[in-house]
Amino acid sequence: MTRLALLTTLAIFTLGCVTTSGDTPAEKRAAINAMAAEVLDDLYREKQSARAEVMTAPGYAVFSNANVNLILASFSGGYGVVHNNQSGSDTYMRMGEVGIGLGAGVKDYRVIFVFHNHETLVDFIEQGWAFGGQADAAAKAGDKGAAVGGEAILDNVTVYQLTESGLALQATVKGTRYWRDRALNQ
């Protein structure tokens, strides 16, 4: 019973901590756009060819996530924006994730999705589901330390993960849900 209470508390804490700064919807959208620009700059520094990939794709998404993994359960929460390069429109979204597997740690990371066709971009905004597995290791604080994340190409989407900070070692099977943030898309 104590472990379940601890897991529940960690999950609530994780999902509660992942919020955007700002009081109004306009301030929150500005904070998300600033985060996305910073993450893209970080990606371009690490992988120069990603700039052309992102700019020539039909669209891309950038998410900020926090993850807590304790023994057999993993919880994440976050927010982000999907940008349609063809129309110039932005769709603000939230994300939540639950997983099972072995691991321990807390990690703050960013995910960039590059959509290689328009249908995949629209499906992501409208459907928002992603399932998968993850294995990674991270020990990073600011510019110190290292993280093994990487790049994957799945169903016309390239996914990059950049770890901001955290200490984690995990191998999980998880389900992730992405959905439109109603308050920011009015």
Contact 114, 57 (CB under 8 A): yes
pLDDT of residue 81: 98
Beta-bridged to residue 107, according to DSSP, are 67, 166
Range(s) of the domain holding residue 16: 2-184
pLDDT of residue 103: 66
Count Cα atoms within 13 angstroms, Cβ side, for 117. 7
In 71-130, alpha helices (H) = 118-126
Mean pLDDT per 10-residue section of the chain, whose length is 186 residues: 47 48 91 96 93 97 82 81 98 88 70 94 88 45 44 75 58 75 92
How many distinct structural domains can be found in the chain?
1
Handedness of CA 67, 68, 69, 75 (dihedral sign): negative
